[in-house]
Amino acid sequence: KSSTDLPDRPEIFEFEGISMVEHFTKNWENVKNFQARPDDILIATYPKAGTTWVSNILDLLYFGKEDPKRQTTKPIYKRVPFLESCFPEMQSGTELANNLPTSPRLIKTHLPVQLVPQSFWEKNSRVAYVARNAKDNAVSYFHFNRMNKAQPEPGDWNTFLEEFMKGKMVFGSWFDHVCGWWEKKKTYPNLHYMLYEDMAKDIKGEVESLCTFLKLSRSDEEKEKIINGIQFDAMKQNKMTNYSTVLVMDFTISPFMRKGKVGDWKNHFTVAQNEQFNEDYKQKMKNSTLKFPTEH
């Protein structure tokens, strides 16, 4: 299949107050009415915050030992359905989730907290949320929109950054997303809030605290295996986690597993952009207690 056969890039529109594209709204009735289970684990993130990383950690923690073959035969997006997704010629996220044979079900979402199907809260399902510092998140999102034809055209970096600050991104404002979920934590104890930067600094410690949250005990040997499998290079080589099987993504523009670094924003932001961003950031985050280790 050549890129000329691919559908046009989608338009952004407002949906329930959030910028969206039709791939994530077309199946809305089923998303809204989705029936969660008490043992479901929802992996929630703003796009490009480390979703695939945490998805793979959880998949390995739960199924790595009993079914090691799934790591080499089943792409991560089939092991961990993307709840609101509804792409042409593919099973929707709700269908995939409803047909998952395993328990617990690992389910991915990028929805802002207020749009998450009610059933997850009613069933008290566990949620692992990952946030990534705004600047690296923006850079990663920019490259993702360049290479992924199912996303809107990002324009040049400066245009994209302005839109990012305005929240005109698919799944809305980064600020509202990370702060909204951070607030939720206060009233919903079954939410484990993680930072990409902590994972990059101390993945072992982060896996340990995930195990504590999930009440899992795993042997040192198993944990060691998991740590090896979730290294950036290992996941970049692994066809089942690197998204190389997805046709709408053009890896000649940028790979899905791009750099996996903290601080890559320094290679993208000009001094002026950085100053303007910092100013805007201070305003938008002034009412939140959420702090990232890499802010300056």
Q: Which residues bind ligand A3P (CB under 6 A)?
A: 45, 47-53, 136, 140, 143, 230, 232, 235, 257-260, 264
Q: Which is nearer to ligand A3P, 37 or 90 (CB)?
A: 90
Q: Which is nearer to ligand A3P, 30 or 130 (CB)?
A: 130
144, 52 Cβ separation under 8 angstroms:
no
CA distances from 204 to 62, 123, 153, 210, 240 (A): 16, 30, 37, 10, 22
Nearest-approach distance from CB 109 to ligand A3P, in angstroms = 11
Residue nearest to ligand A3P (CB): 260
Nearest-approach distance from CB 199 to ligand A3P, in angstroms = 7
The CA-based angle 256-154-22, given to 5 degrees, is: 85
d(CA 278, CA 261): 20
20, 151 Cβ separation under 8 angstroms:
no
Nearest-approach distance from CB 293 to ligand A3P, in angstroms = 15
Q: Which is nearer to ligand A3P, 32 or 259 (CB)?
A: 259
Nearest-approach distance from CB 232 to ligand A3P, in angstroms = 4
Give the torsion sign (CA, 217, 220, 226, 227): positive
Q: Which is nearer to ligand A3P, 124 or 228 (CB)?
A: 228
d(CA 56, CA 42): 13
296 an active-site residue? no
Q: Which is nearer to ligand A3P, 100 or 246 (CB)?
A: 246
d(CA 102, CA 78): 12
Q: Which is nearer to ligand A3P, 39 or 224 (CB)?
A: 224
Parallel, antiparallel or unpaired: strands 13-15 and 18-20: antiparallel
Q: Token match 């079914």: residue?
A: 67
Nearest-approach distance from CB 33 to ligand A3P, in angstroms = 26
Structure tokens of 110? 């990028």
Q: Give the burial class of 151: count Cβ atoms within 10 A of its Cβ; 0-12 exposed, 13-18 middle, 19 or more buried.
A: buried
Query: Catalytic one among 23, 110, 143, 192?
Result: 110
d(CA 92, CA 95): 5
Structure tokens of 172? 């809305």
Nearest-approach distance from CB 24 to ligand A3P, in angstroms = 14
Q: Which residues are catalytic?
A: 110
